[in-house]
Structure 1
Amino acid sequence: MAALYKKCAVLPCEGRSIALDTSAIIVCAGNATRMQGVNKILLPLGDTNVIGMSMRAFEACPSVAEIILVCRDCDRQEIEQTAERLGIQKLTAITIGGHTRQESVQNGLRKLSRSTEYVAIHDGARPLVKPEQIERTIHDARVFGGATLGAPVKDTIKAVSDGLITDTPPRHTLYLTQTPQVFRRRLYFEGVDFALEHGLDFTDDCQLVEAIGGKVYMTVGDYTNIKITTPEDAAIAQAILKQQEEQA
């Protein structure tokens, strides 16, 4: 694996400088319950597998200095082999996940380089995220302190209690929240400390920042950035990738 970055580098890009100041934590430590026991992150996809696609997207991002991967111990060896086959140079650490997603992310935080200014947290099971989407989200986080990739909902959403509709939120205010979710390091750590102090456990990293009154910008992405959760999702991801390759 590449050595940890000791200082923040700056790269030129289209007439402006891009800071190499972001650490990506890719989380893939789930137990695959909804995949009927199949390990979704190691499913074949394109010329590699699901986690390989995710790593490659962050490898291609000018702003990303390092990649930290959080996984199950039983998957570690195959993930390392995948990274080696793909020539992933930014992978600096692989660590083992916790009992919850929040614990898994915290394990990844312990591996951050000291020079890290922004943390990008990504679900390893979202393999079709595009490098340009990651870069836009990082840019927005630099402006607002936090940003998440997402897409407007297509359907009318109903709030339901005991089987009865209680509310119909205006559709134009609703977004499907995706990843990466990017935060200024200090702001995110404040959210983590708050959650630990109050015994809170969130499934969404934005909630950590929202809990301390922080603002998170919604960076608009697209509907191809799906999360592979069920066997049907894997088939959809293959179809999307094939269509993208045909259009390229």
Structure 2
Amino acid sequence: MVNIGIVIPAAGQGKRMGAGYNKQFLALRDKPILAHTIGLFEESDYVSEIVVVGAEGDIATIEELVSFYDLKKVVKICIGGVLRQDSVCTGVRALSPTIQRIVVHDGARPLLTLPAFHKFLKETETNSAAIMGVPIKDTVKQVDSAGNVLETLPRDYLRAVQTPQIFDRGILEEAHERASVSSYYGTDDASLLEWIGHPVHMVEGMQENIKVTTPEDLWLAERILTMREKER
């Protein structure tokens, strides 16, 4: 489980947050969300390289953040594409050729813990494509375009997908290449593997591993960190 490369897509502008700038620069406990996210992988002995992919207008800010927090494993800060899929593809290409195991993790998921990450690596070391997911708590119904309920989906077989997601480099690059040629866009990298017919394994994720998208999410993230401090 050594020599792992991390790709962190951080180009989203987070309009739902309403901050007027990239949500990943918002402070979480007096530290930018993105700094929390990168810092987790900086601490891992299994991680060799980190590539951060941001919007063109954010590159200087990300460079300052990486320098200020002394994040030495960040080897490249790249300009992202129009969609997340384009950004991840750019990040993968920026990793050294020696990196053959790649983890993709959302820049706006700052609450992953080091033990959970290492457990994920251990549980997926024999899988060429694997992801985190958590059971769905709510009843989920499928509706049509008019809002009419078509059916109630069985919760036992539904998961809310998270990152990190881990892939062998060759199969991830193949999926991105084929998707690019066919102009196919998936909702995450795992969906590209599914699209080309490659098996994807899922392991249990963390309920706390939320994606900070709205002001309510930021409030919840603060509460989670407070709870963790009390438990120490």
What secondary structure does 1:128 align onto? Answer: coil
Match in the other structure for 1:210: 194
Answering whether residue 134 of structure 2 is matched by residue 134 of structure 1, we say no
1:86 Cα deviation (Å)? 2.3
Q: TM-score, normalised by structure 2?
A: 0.94
The code of the aligned residue for 2:157 comes to: T
Q: How does 1:108-127 map to 2 (within 5 A)?
A: 108-127=91-110
Match in the other structure for 2:3: 21
1:117 Cα deviation (Å)? 1.2
d(CA) in 1 for partners of 2:49, 2:102 = 10
The code of the aligned residue for 1:24 comes to: I
d(CA) in 1 for partners of 2:196, 2:121 = 21
What secondary structure does 2:94 align onto? Answer: coil
Count residues in correspondence. 230
What secondary structure does 2:95 align onto? Answer: coil
Structure 2 unaligned blocks of 5 or more: none
RMSD (CA atoms): 1.4
Structure 1 unaligned blocks of 5 or more: 1-18
Deviates more, 1:130-139 or 1:223-232: 130-139
Kept in 2: contact 1:137–1:147 (CA 8 A)? no
d(CA) in 1 for partners of 2:90, 2:147 = 39
1:155 Cα deviation (Å)? 1.1
The code of the aligned residue for 1:124 comes to: G
Match in the other structure for 1:31: 13
Answering whether residue 213 of structure 2 is matched by residue 223 of structure 1, we say no
d(CA) in 1 for partners of 2:132, 2:57 = 30
Judging by fraction of residues, say which structure has more strand. 1
Match in the other structure for 1:89: 72
d(CA) in 2 for partners of 1:148, 1:61 = 18
Runs ≥4 residues deviating over 6 A: none
Kept in 2: contact 1:24–1:66 (CA 8 A)? yes
d(CA) in 2 for partners of 1:142, 1:149 = 13
d(CA) in 1 for partners of 2:36, 2:30 = 9
d(CA) in 2 for partners of 1:197, 1:137 = 32
d(CA) in 1 for partners of 2:17, 2:95 = 30
1:47 Cα deviation (Å)? 4.3
d(CA) in 1 for partners of 2:77, 2:195 = 29
